[in-house]
Structures are given as C-alpha cells and as structure tokens.
Amino acid sequence: MSTPENPVQSKTADAPNLVPAEAAGPSFEETLHNFWKQYGRIVVAGCVIVLLAILGKGVLDYMGAQKETEIRQAYAAANTPEKLKAFVAAQSGHTLAGVGSLQMADTAYAEGRAAEAIGLYEAAAKTLANTPLSGRAKLGRAVALLLAGRAADGEAALQEVADLAAVPVAFRAEAAYHLAARAQLAGRTEQVRKLSEQIMQMDPSSPWAQRAMLLVAGSAAPSATTPAAPVDEPAADSVIKLNLPGGN
C-alpha cells in the first residue's frame, strides 16, 4: 500500500524557499546612506583635520627651508670678525654658529690669544658635537692649552683626541704626531716609538705617518759609549709652531 504524499513535503521540494521582502536585510545603498547620515560629519571633520595636518607640515617644511637659507646667507655675509661674532651670537646652537666659533678660535690661536682660543674651541666642540668637526675643535683646544702653558692638560687632551674612535682619523693622527713631537724634543724615545706605531695603524699613508717616521729616526738611542745629554721638557709652544690645528 503506497504512502500518501505529504502535501507539506511536496510543496517544500517543488517550490523555492521564498523569504518575504520585509524579512531581508537592508541593501548596501541603504546601509551606506544610514552610515553617512549618522557619521558623515565625523568623517568630514576627520578628513579636514588630516588635510590641515598635511598642509601644515608643508608650510612648516617650507618655512624651515627658508629659515635655513637665510642662516646660510647670513653666514656667507659674515666676512669680518665683528660680523662673524654677531652671527655666532645670533645663531647660537646652529651648526654654522659652531663653524663660526671654530673660525674665531683659529684666529685667536694664530694671534697668540690662548685663553680666548680655548673657550672658543670648547664652544665649537659643543655645538658641533654630532659632526666630524667636533674632533677638529677638540684638537684645536688641545694645542691652545699648550700655547697657554698648560703642558700636562694639553698633552692629555691630545692623547684623548688620538684615542677617540669617533674622531676622523686625520685629526687623530695629527694629535698623536704633536704628542710624538713633544716626546722627541723631551728625549722620551719609547713614547715617540709607541705614538709613531699608533699613527701607522691609524693611517699609514698620511703625511703625519711620514713625519712620525722621521721623528723615530731622529730619536735613535745614543750609543752605549756616548753618554746621553740631559734633555729639558719642550717649551709650552714647541708644538704650536708646527702648524695650525688641522693643517698639514
């Protein structure tokens, strides 16, 4: 006996499962409309803020570039000692102010104004701390200390420059050479040899290495039959007369 057909099952199998229109979710257009209606002002405000930030950064960058150009022009125009001094005072902390201090220090050093040179070199080293010229300023300070008669302080400062790995090798080699020259004048032969080896390790092709080799040759130990003559410590300015700091 056949089983009577279930009208519900037959209807489900034969007809699609239609969902009433009112039971379906909102369309994409309706969702977007509702979102914009609720958050539109916030979105617009956010876009305006971002745009203003971009424009503001552009303006600040432009103004910074203009300011930097003005500073460079002012430095180029500082072609007298008075103007350079005024520039350094006006642009305190700027890299070019540090360069200006270095220039003034060199002038004071060359003219024998040791105390003034020391202060200017110290100011330059501080302003130029993150540049290679910091080593140049420290070297200048060291020889200015020697010029001032502060031999122990000057030699210690020279040794510090020679040992600083962050300082450009040219300045380190020069500092070591000045130390070796003073040691040679004082008859400290072993110190001359060690400093010359240090220079050769730094930069064997530099002129300072060649000069150091000459110092070693000139510091050859006297023969055993010849008594060594007493040697006085070098004068305070014995190194200073060789060259200006950074010169060859």
- What is the pTM assigned to this prediction? 0.67
Summarised one tens digit per residue, pLDDT across range 131-152 is 989 999 999 999 999 999 999 9
Summarised one tens digit per residue, pLDDT across range 58-109 is 665 656 677 788 899 999 999 999 999 999 999 999 999 999 999 999 999 9
Per-residue pLDDT band for 34 (boundaries 50, 70, 90) equals confident
**pLDDT score of 118 more than 80:** yes
Side chain identity at 6, as an amino acid letter? N
Q: 80-218 belongs to which homologous superfamily?
A: Tetratricopeptide repeat domain (1.25.40.10)
- The domains of the chain are located at 80-218
